[in-house]
Structure 1
Amino acid sequence: MPMKRSGTGELTVVDRFEDGVGWIAHPEETMQRASHAVESEGGLWIIDPVDAAGLDDLLSEYADPEGVVVLLDRHKRDAATVADRHDVAVYIPEWMDGVASDIDVPTRRFGSDLAGFQVGRLIDNPLWQEATLFDGETLVVPEALGTVEYFRAPAEELGVHPMLRVLPPTDLRSYDPDRLLVGHGEGIAEDVGPVIRRAVDDSRGRAPSLYLKNVRGLLGV
């Protein structure tokens, strides 16, 4: 199974709920890159999108798109392509570097609030810049948490990113959302707050078992 596919993918819908939806464009890839669209204040916000055949038909079930949002400096993905097709701008946190210069459509900056979403400055260092969105019900964490196999130690349903395991982002413990949307894998919609806190609290202790599992997977043993 390849880590990452390129080109237009085959749409696989995940995380469908009243005000939004998620999709995985390349379900056969190891990374399981997930994208989302969530309604807020009468418009649809498309988050870290990977393009896929049939995407526009899926989005037409919701409000008109207001913008495309990039929440991780590495998640430019197909943001420009999707924004251009829907004639909207790409929105980037005001403190996030190295993204706007790679986006060839109009961009706009936002601060601690975006159309009713509370914006969290989860990680901000020279190697990693990540923001979160929270509207009181739905929490979007694009990279620090994931449900895909290589994020999860044995018996975990949600895991902290392998590179953050030793020093996990403890700010995530404060959230108690109805649902969690992640950038890799399907989201979680039951007992979400306790699941997040367990993932963060167990992150360091379960790091060795995760690393061992991933090494064995790479070696095929």
Structure 2
Amino acid sequence: MPENNMTWIAFGDIHQSNGLPARIPEIKNADAIIVTGDLTNHSPEGAVEKVWDSIYTFNPRILAQAGNMDRSNVTEFLKEKNANLHCEVRELAPGIKIMGVGCSIPTPFGTPSEVTEEEMASLLEETHSLAGDYEKLILAVHDSPHGTSLDKISNGMHVGSRSVRSFIEKYQPEIVVSGHIHESSGEDVLGKSRIFNPGMAAEGGYVLITLENGNLDAVLKQAGSS
């Protein structure tokens, strides 16, 4: 395990509200910025570029993936920037890898990037198969795991992905950063996996992930006012 201390900042559900990066005090010194999905609202022309620039201004080291509200042009843009995380694995530090799966299971709203639970399970397994050996795994997934405190809508119903939950229970990544369910920001655990949903970017939530002397940790934080 590396002895050097490192930090990563994760957030999502930007929805073209680009003010959060300027409000995060640790952003300029972070080793990477991780965006879990929903950069845009149906990806109108020029939207993903503006979101990208709002982050790049403060830190050019970006890994991001499309959420259910993003169209395929978002993934294409991120691939051109060598920043795509959806269905990819990156090594953040020796022994520490991050894998990403964006999109979501079906919603009542017919958003652009939805998959069935079966497809979600396949995407997760196929992406994990690319990881090879690792000591610690971080999972960036747009949809929150079903039956946790992170996937409840306002009426109390759990609407997260059962496939995401099953994957976490099976592979037990150390840190999971999810999103999608705006009203359920917070932290939960499944086995040894610590799971975070920072909520909508416009509301200031983000996750600070740290590596200190080989110990991987994370904390849910709230950005100050701009």
TM-score range, shorter chain: 0.3 to 0.5
Bigger CA radius of gyration? 1
Of structures 1 and 2, the one with the larger relative CO (CA 8 A, separation 6+) is 2
Using the size of structure 1 for normalisation, the TM-score is: 0.39
Q: Which has the higher strand share?
A: 1
